[in-house]
Structures are given as structure tokens and as C-alpha cells.
Amino acid sequence: MTVQFSPAAGRDRFVGSAVSRVDGPAKVTGLAKYAGEFAAPDLAYGVVVSSAIAKGSIRSIDASAAEAVSGVIKVITHENRPATSDNPEDYQDAVAPPGAPFQALATDRIVFSGQPVALVVAEDFETARYAASLVRVDYGVVAPRTDLAAQAPESYDPPMKRSGIKPPPEPWGDAETAFDAAEIRVNGQYRMADEHHNPMEPHASTVVVEKDGTYTVYDKIQGVSNTHDYIASAFGLKPEQVRVLNPYLGGGFGSGLRPQYQLFLAMLAAKDLGRSVRVTLTRDQMWSFTYRSEALQTVSLGADRSGKLTALRHDAVQGTSSYEDYQEVVVNWSGVLYDCDNVKLTYSLAKLDTPTPGDMRAPGAVTGVYAIETAMDELAYATGQDPIQLRLKNYTESDPTEEKPFGSKALKECFREGAERFGWSRRNPQPRSMREGRELVGWGMATGIWESMMMQSSAHAVLTADGRLEVGNQTGDIGTGTYTILTQIAADTLGLPLDHVTTKLGDTQLAKAPVAGGSWTAASSGTAVMKACRSIAEQAFKLARGMDNSPLANADFERVVFSNGRIELAGDPAKSVALTDVLKATGTAKLEATGEAAPDKDFAKEYEAYTHSAIFVEVKIDEELGQVRCTRVVSAIAAGKILNLKTARSQILGGIVMGVGSALHEESMLDHRIGRFMNHNLGEYHVPVNADIHDIDVIFVDEEDKANPLGVKGLGEIGIVGVAAAISNAVFHATGKRIRHLPITPDKILADD
């Protein structure tokens, strides 16, 4: 899909400046289309009937009343469902955890509440929705297990590890003995809540059956390659029979990493009927797949009187589904963050009768860092240390879990610049010592950390004789600003104005690239685009040097600059030639190149790569009402080179808002008797709104990193990590009450201990 930018006059160096989103106009004018909005001739509409029970089986299903409704084309259930691959591995997408992925309508077995039990396909959406309400299901009910605390005693070490997810490191030293011998000890159990992603755009897929029998699929996904390969293997199609597009996402936060059941059902119906089909999930159905599973966590810290850590234990039990071993990195962060001689970290899973949990913005780090950074605040009070001083005392310049130095770590600068901006030195450390009118005031802080990753990616670039450049690949812009930063990188590499560059994303006909996730897209796709453009620059330079009377006849590539649409000799702009003239004079219609980016193995052998942050928070609490307001946040971020100050800041703002949500508001509540998330709507699951959000100040500290040629480390996730701990620490400072169970709702503030 095409995105174009209107001119930004007179600038030449775009990388590093606050360029507005190139896709902004398309989004605000409604030109940007989402997966459930693409038109197709003769489109049919599928509505999902969701299971009313969490566990058991379908004894019988009666679709006759639904089928009798005028306009209903077909009701698909497990009884009449067309066959798809019978090999469970064919349903394992690119980011699937170990296990047998859920297949909609495959059997009569029910394994989670809200599981699809039928798809009603009709001529229009309203008819399908009405008919879906007429489908009658008789269930054999089995008591579901959804209570993590009840299942935790049966937790297990996942036998198959999830690709890309590091299991906890081997323990070092003797954490138990050191803890028992420690002068100062803190020990706490920490709980969060289950959370759901709640992007504005619900999951939707439009499957278009083309005249030649191929399929064009518009799917809400963070990377079209994942949908493409999943469909091809599940439905036994050749790769060239499927084209997948998803130019825009209305938010993903990880919920769009894996192909979901609405895609499978839309494809199933389209293939069966030979007709284009759209399936859009409702908001409440958004609670029937993927979520951030809470974890039961224990952190035990031992230290000497000066605050130096002598023992660190962090144990977590997290929920997974009955059919997959979902895993994320929860406890390792504690080992990476602090220098300590005796460390033991453990992570296990407990089976629950819920859908498989999934990655949600900074998966695992949000969870684990909440626990360790709250425990560190408890240690600060136990040792009488300032929380920043305590962290500096245990600071590490290398990653203790890998025994390798960090490629860069400007966390000290985050502490310094963040504290100064916040006014931390004016804090009276005594709990309940600060007050404003009827409100208690609390100041708290925490550290954030996220891994800086890179994935193998390619990008294609084409420069045409009119001086216009098109770049692109398959990855998704999940709202992070990928269109914009790739446009900036391309423009700068070839010295073109922004409005001469068009970036295309989210189409399997473009150069290969993985899903957008893990904060790896800027490094991965950015490097690939830069390499593709550099290759074009080299080609153009060679042509320019060979032109008759070329002003660059004796130049070499290292001595020229691409600027203002021209190739010029460094330091001698009089000797230059326009790119358009180069192509015209040499009779070249276009120059094109593919750039390949991959993680730097030599770098990875020597260094570990993480982003860091320091978050400072002010809360104001009305103790009589139990109301907590997060009135001020300063977040200082160390994430390498910042490509775009505006979209970068937006990423951090969004992360902080989500962090406020998990600290104070967001909680998916399970009724364990029926195994269902009960508050499956935006009225009862409160995502922060404008009234909940006050001053947020974002600082990017200088940090130079060499993990990739751009020096970027990724920004999509670091903004949220540590926010909940900083808020919970501020709540303690305000009230003197340590609440170790998120979200910190009024009932917890008001409760007697």
C-alpha cells in the first residue's frame, strides 16, 4: 500500500529530527484501510458463535433455526467443517510457542471460554449476527481450572523451550545460604492481573477469492508473512496461491503477532463457498484469545547494611493453556539488572483452561520488572538508602547472566537526567511526609529494561528516472512509525526530499521481512532499507562517474555526498550532478536493489544489547476515597540512536499510559466457577482515558551503540517496563502501605492491612 508525504521544505537530514508521520494524513482522513474494511464483490459476512462454557464438549449443536433465516448462506460447525491439514505442526506460525495450536471447529471439545463453536455466514453482517444468536448448543460441562494460585502447586518446567525466549540462567553462588546469612532481608510475593491488549481495531480478516482461484487476504496481523505461511500450510495451498496484505494496524501490542481464529474461519468459509468472506470479531470476543497472563512471583533480596546485594532470588509461576506451553522471559531481568554473587532465578508454567496467553507489550519484562523493582524499593527502605543510590551501588556494566559487557548502557545518565527533571532531590524519603490539601503525595522511581533485538530482514528499493524512490518490505507498521522512519532513512541515504520517497509495507509481494514485534523493526527493516538505498547510491555513482565530462570523473564513492537530489564531491558542492540527470544521461529507466539485514554475529559474541530507562512518578492519593492519580511521570530512556524524536516520544508516551493501566486500572477478572473473563468490555475493563493521564515528560539520553549500522536499539516496549513498579513505589511513599497486587484499585487503598 502506498503512503506519501507532503513536502517538508528545505531539510536535508531527516534522521534524528521530529518528522511528522508520513501516514498521518491517510489515518486522520480515513483513507487508511484496515483488514475489516476492504471491499470485495459479492462479499459474504461470517459471525462467530462463541462457547458459553470453558471446558467440556459439544453434545449437540442445532443450527436449523439459523439456517432458516433468509440470507443465511451456511452455518459451519465441527460437524460439517471442510477438512484442513491434519498435521498440528501445519498450524504452528512463526512465533508459536511449543504445543498444538488451537484449530477452530476441529472437534467437539471445548478448551476455553469463548471458543468458536460455529461460523454463521450470510449475505450481510446483520443477518449473520441475528442468525448466530439462534444457534443452540448443548454442552457437556467439565469444571474448568482457571485459578493460577490453585494450579501453581502443579507447575512444571516447560519441556520444550519457546524459540527466542531464554530460559532462566543456571544459578550462581548459593542464594539460599546467602539470603539466610544476610544482614538485611526483604522478601515479598507479587501479583499482577491478567490483562488484555485491547487495540482500538478488533481482529478482522477479509478473504477475497480471485477469479483465477487465488486468495487475497486482508488480515489484522503484525506481519503478513506469518499469515501467509500459516494459511498456505493449514489449507495445503501453494505459496503463490495466497497474497496477504495489511497496510495498517489499529493497534496490536502483540495481539496481532499470531494468526487468530477469525482468519482461519474466514479462509475456511471462503474456500468452502468459493466466495469472498469477512469475519470481524466483537469487542467481547477480543477476550477469547491471547492475553497477558499474570504470574505468581516471589522475590527475596539479601544485602549488607550498605545496601550491597548479597543474595537475589526471583521465582515465577505463570499460566499457560492446556494445549500450548506459552513462555516469556519473566525472571531473567533481575539477573541482568544487578550485580550480585548469589543468584537463583526460576520460572515454571501452570496449565489453565484459558486460551493460550500471548505476547503483550514488553511480555515478561512488564511482569518480572514490576516484582524486582518493587522489591528493590523495599530494600531501599530496609537499608535506609535512597532508591537511586541503592541501584547505583548494585549497578553492573556487564550482563551477569551471560558474563558479557553491554554494548552500551547509559542507565546512569537516565538516573541523573530523570532525577534532575523530576526534582527528585526535593523528595522527603519518609512515607506519608508529603501532602497537598486533602491528598497524600508520593514520589517513587524504578528502572526499566528490554532486550534490544534484530531479525533477519530484507527490503527492496527502486529509484526511477523522475528522481522518485520507492522502498518497502513485508513488515507491519503497528502504529510505531515504521513508515516514517523508513522514509527518513531512505531519503537521507540518497539525499532526497521526503516527498520523493514512498514507503510500502504489509504486502507479501514486497521483500521478505518478519512480523513487527519485540521492538526489533527499526533495527531490522531500517538497516535493510539503508543497505538497499546504499546499493542504489553506489550504482548511481558509478553511472555518474562514467558520464561525458563528469564532474565526478576522478572521485571515489567514499568522497561523495548525496544531498538535495544530487551527488556532490565532499567539500566541493560545485562539482555535482543531479540523480535525475545521471539516469537520463545514461538512458537508465530505474535503479533497484535489495538490502539484507541480519544480526551482527561478531557483536553478539562479545556484547549483550539492552535498552534501559529510569521512571520517576508522582501520585496523589485521596485516602478517604481510595483514589490514586498518577499526576506526573518523567521517563528517561537509553535506547541508542533516536531516529525520529516525535514518533519515538509517542512510543514512550503510549508505553507509559499502558503502564498506568496495569498499575491502576486494567484487570481481566476470571470467574473461576465458569472459567470466563467476566468484564469483557471497555466499560468494565478500564483502559486509561485522558482523565487518567496527566503530565508525562520523556527524555532520551545520549547513547551510542554498535549492534547495527544505524545504532538504534528499539523503542516500542521499553516505555512500559518499570512504570507499574514506579507507581506502586510512589503509592508506598505516599501512604506507607506496601500493596503487592496490581492493579492498585481504591479497595486496596482503603483496606485495613
Position of cell 530507562?
Answer: 613
Nearer to ligand MOS, 184 or 257 (CB): 257
Contact of 331 with 169, CB cutoff 8 Å? no
Contact of 536 with 501, CB cutoff 8 Å? no
Contact stretch for ligand MOS (CB under 6 A) within 145-153, 180-188, 356-364, 618-626: 356-364
Q: Does 497 bind ligand MOS (CB under 6 A)?
A: no
Residue 717 annotated to the active site: yes
Instruction: Return d(Cα 18, Cα 512) in angstroms, integer.
Output: 28
Q: CA nearest 465: which of 554, 592, 606, 377?
A: 592
Contact stretch for ligand MOS (CB under 6 A) within 296-304, 345-353, 360-368, 693-701: 360-368
Instruction: Return d(Cα 166, Cα 611) in angstroms, integer.
Output: 17
Nearer to ligand MOS, 449 or 621 (CB): 449
Instruction: Return d(Cα 312, Cα 176) in angstroms, integer.
Output: 9
Nearer to ligand MOS, 222 or 354 (CB): 222
Nearer to ligand MOS, 77 or 246 (CB): 246
Instruction: Return d(Cα 467, Cα 564) in angstroms, integer.
Output: 11
Task: Name the DSSP class of 748.
Answer: H
Contact stretch for ligand MOS (CB under 6 A) within 171-179, 181-189, 250-258, 673-681: 250-258
Position of cell 540512536?
Answer: 641
Q: Got the DSSP string for 293-328?
A: --EEEEEEEEE-TT--EEEEEEEEEEEE-SSB----
Q: Does 481 bind ligand MOS (CB under 6 A)?
A: no
Instruction: Return d(Cα 290, Cα 254) in angstroms, integer.
Output: 9
Q: How far is the CB of 297 from ligand MOS (least distance, A)?
A: 20
Q: CA nearest 327: which of 546, 156, 559?
A: 156
Contact stretch for ligand MOS (CB under 6 A) within 33-41, 252-260, 310-318, 345-353: 252-260
Q: How far is the CB of 225 from ligand MOS (least distance, A)?
A: 15
Q: How far is the CB of 659 from ligand MOS (least distance, A)?
A: 14
Q: How far is the CB of 361 from ligand MOS (least distance, A)?
A: 5
Contact stretch for ligand MOS (CB under 6 A) within 246-254, 279-287, 331-339, 459-467: 246-254
Range 583-601 burial, b when 16+ CB lie within 10 A, else e: bebeeeeebebebebebbe
Nearer to ligand MOS, 253 or 422 (CB): 253
Position of cell 470453558?
Answer: 54
Q: Does 361 bind ligand MOS (CB under 6 A)?
A: yes
Rg (CA), the chain: 27
Q: Which amino acid is at 9?
A: A
Site mask for ligand MOS (CB under 6 A), range 498-527, x = bound: -------------------xx---------
Q: How far is the CB of 166 from ligand MOS (least distance, A)?
A: 15
Q: How far is the CB of 394 from ligand MOS (least distance, A)?
A: 28
Contact stretch for ligand MOS (CB under 6 A) within 45-53, 155-163, 357-365, 434-442: 357-365
Q: Does 360 bind ligand MOS (CB under 6 A)?
A: yes
Angle ∠(685,378,623) on CA atoms, nearest 5 = 50
Interface with ligand MOS (CB under 6 A), residue total 11
Chain positions 566 to 595 lying near ligand MOS, rule: CB under 6 A, are none
Instruction: Return d(Cα 314, Cα 310) in angstroms, integer.
Output: 14
Contact stretch for ligand MOS (CB under 6 A) within 136-144, 315-323, 359-367, 588-596: 359-367
Q: Which entry of 195, 470, 703, 717 is annotated as an active-site residue?
A: 717
Contact stretch for ligand MOS (CB under 6 A) within 106-114, 164-172, 247-255, 300-308: 247-255
Nearer to ligand MOS, 118 or 165 (CB): 165
Q: How far is the CB of 742 from ligand MOS (least distance, A)?
A: 18
Task: Name the DSSP class of 492.
Answer: H
Instruction: Return d(Cα 306, Cα 274) in angstroms, integer.
Output: 72
Number of H helices, E strands in the chain: 18, 30
Q: Residue 727, by phi and psi: left (phi above 0), alpha (psi -120 to 50) or beta?
A: alpha
Q: Does 444 bind ligand MOS (CB under 6 A)?
A: no
Nearer to ligand MOS, 103 or 320 (CB): 320
State how beta strands 204-209 and 277-280 pair.
antiparallel
Q: CA nearest 221: which of 180, 269, 264?
A: 264
Q: Does 331 bind ligand MOS (CB under 6 A)?
A: no
Q: How far is the CB of 255 from ligand MOS (least distance, A)?
A: 8
Applying CB under 6 A, which of residues 36, 252, 319, 368 lies at the interface with ligand MOS? 252
The packing angle between helices 365-383 and 723-735, to 10°, is 30
Nearer to ligand MOS, 359 or 373 (CB): 359
Q: How far is the CB of 223 from ligand MOS (least distance, A)?
A: 10
Instruction: Return d(Cα 300, Cα 298) in angstroms, integer.
Output: 7
Q: Which amino acid is at 80?
A: N
Q: Report the first-to-last Cα separation within the chain, whole angstroms.
A: 57
Q: CA nearest 646: which of 638, 654, 634, 658?
A: 654
Residues with Cβ within 8 Å of 199's Cβ and at least 6 positions away in sequence, in order, are: 249, 250, 251, 252, 253, 255, 256
Q: How far is the CB of 750 from ligand MOS (least distance, A)?
A: 34
Q: How far is the CB of 359 from ligand MOS (least distance, A)?
A: 4
Q: Does 363 bind ligand MOS (CB under 6 A)?
A: yes
Chain positions 680 to 719 lying near ligand MOS, rule: CB under 6 A, are none
Q: Residue 61: enclosing H or E segment and its boundaries?
A: strand 56-62
Nearer to ligand MOS, 227 or 300 (CB): 227
Chain positions 256 to 275 lying near ligand MOS, rule: CB under 6 A, are 257
Nearer to ligand MOS, 203 or 427 (CB): 203
Nearer to ligand MOS, 252 or 407 (CB): 252
Chain positions 221 to 240 lying near ligand MOS, rule: CB under 6 A, are 222
Residues with Cβ within 8 Å of 13's Cβ and at least 6 positions away in sequence, in order, are: 492
Site mask for ligand MOS (CB under 6 A), range 185-224, x = bound: -------------------------------------x--
Instruction: Return d(Cα 302, Cα 311) in angstroms, integer.
Output: 5
Instruction: Return d(Cα 378, Cα 306) in angstroms, integer.
Output: 14
User: 433: how many CB neighbours lie within 10 A of its CB?
Assistant: 14
Q: Does 254 bind ligand MOS (CB under 6 A)?
A: yes
Contact stretch for ligand MOS (CB under 6 A) within 164-172, 248-256, 293-301, 544-552: 248-256
For residue 400, cis peptide bond before it (omega within 30 degrees of 0): no
Q: Does 359 bind ligand MOS (CB under 6 A)?
A: yes
Nearer to ligand MOS, 7 or 164 (CB): 164
Q: How far is the CB of 379 from ligand MOS (least distance, A)?
A: 30
Active site members: 717
- Footprint on this chain of ligand MOS (rule: CB under 6 A): 222, 252-254, 257, 359-361, 363, 517-518
